[in-house]
């Protein structure tokens, strides 16, 4: 299986990696068939874990390679990473202002984005979907870097990133399917919409890989862009969601554990 994967072109690898991360979102959403309710403290710890993974991936898998790739160029090595990082945050910030969505555990009146009459369940799904866009881009850019011929990005590092993103997608799948079930959706419909929120990841992964293959010079900017987008999501959404229900300490330790797990994956495999 590994040899088969090695022989694929890098856009196809990015697609399969995106399908893997989506699959773990679906697996998390599938827990709705086993139980109607998940302990809130456990869910907050898992959301914290997801945030820790995203923070670690932003540095170890994206920002650090972006800086290394810029070394020896005409610009200061930190500048492309800084520009890409800020642009990623600005882009997600604009999307956050425009796309109607509602964070998990928040009342209806705290919905964000353009005012709409859409159902609460739709707004919840869109909030998680927005999480997944930068994650898919990050995976795609990592695999696209391989095709661009940059030695700093190894296949094992790209795979490690996909594994880390996939692991933290599991609780995100739970975080969308369980609230939908509590609001009266059937188990099947709750699962369907839960997994649907992650379907954007393989699409974003292919787009990210194709972009850096077509335009190799943008790679440092693209890596940092994905990092900035993920950090925006963590600070704007994941951390507040995990800290809202009186489980701040547990969620914080979950975030620390997630950071360490992603660091080990990236350093150990990369």
Band of residue 151 on the pLDDT scale cut at 50, 70, 90? low
| Out of 112-121, 146-155, 228-237, 259-268, least confident range | 146-155
246's CB contacts (< 8 A; 6+ apart) are none
Query: What is the predicted pLDDT for the residue at 150?
Result: 62
For the chain, percent of residues with pLDDT exceeding 70 = 96
CB 193 within 8 A of CB 142: no
Chain position carrying tokens 């190799």: 216
Tokens of 103: 């964070």
Highest mean pLDDT among 14-18, 215-219, 244-248: 14-18
Highest mean pLDDT among 58-62, 82-86, 264-268: 82-86
47-77 residue pLDDT tens? 899 999 999 999 998 999 899 888 877 889 9
Query: What is the predicted pLDDT for the residue at 104?
Result: 67
180-224 residue pLDDT tens? 888 788 899 999 988 988 899 999 999 999 988 888 888 899 999
Q: Is 152's pLDDT higher than 60?
A: no
Query: What is the predicted pLDDT for the residue at 231?
Result: 95
Query: What is the predicted pLDDT for the residue at 223?
Result: 92
Distance, CA of 70 to CA of 219 (rounded, Å): 9
- What is the mean pLDDT of the segment spanning 24-28? 94
Distance, CA of 196 to CA of 180 (rounded, Å): 13
Distance, CA of 173 to CA of 31 (rounded, Å): 9
Q: What is the DSSP code string of 117-181?
A: ---HHHHHHHHHHHHHHHHHHHHHHHHHHHHTT-TTS-HHHHHHHHHHHHHHHHHHHHHHHHHHH
Q: Is 99's pLDDT higher than 80?
A: yes
């Amino acid at each position: 299986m590994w040899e088969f994967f090695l022989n694929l072109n890098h856009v196809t690898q990015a697609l399969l990696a995106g399908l893997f991360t989506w699959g773990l979102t679906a697996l998390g959403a599938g827990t709705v068939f086993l139980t109607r309710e998940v302990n809130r403290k456990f869910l907050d710890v898992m959301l914290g874990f997801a945030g820790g993974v995203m923070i670690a991936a932003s540095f170890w898998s994206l920002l650090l390679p972006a800086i290394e790739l810029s070394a020896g160029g005409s610009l200061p090595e930190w500048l492309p990473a800084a520009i890409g990082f800020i642009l990623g945050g600005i882009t997600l910030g604009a999307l956050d202002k425009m796309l109607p969505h509602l964070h998990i555990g928040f009342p209806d009146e705290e919905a964000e984005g353009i005012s709409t009459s859409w159902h609460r369940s739709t707004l919840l799904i869109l909030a998680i979907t927005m999480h997944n866009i930068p994650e898919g881009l990050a995976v795609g850019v990592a695999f696209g870097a391989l095709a661009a011929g940059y030695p700093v990005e190894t296949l094992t590092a790209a795979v490690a990133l996909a594994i880390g993103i996939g692991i933290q997608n599991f609780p995100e799948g739970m975080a969308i399917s369980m609230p939908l079930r509590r609001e009266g959706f059937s188990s099947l419909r709750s699962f369907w919409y839960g997994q649907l929120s992650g379907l954007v990841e393989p699409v974003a992964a292919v787009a990210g890989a194709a972009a850096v293959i077509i335009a190799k010079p943008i790679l440092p900017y693209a890596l940092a862009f994905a990092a900035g987008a993920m950090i925006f999501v963590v600070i704007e959404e994941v951390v507040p969601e995990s800290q809202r229900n009186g489980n701040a300490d547990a969620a914080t330790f979950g975030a620390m554990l997630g950071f360490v797990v992603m660091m080990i994956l990236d350093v150990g495999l990369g």
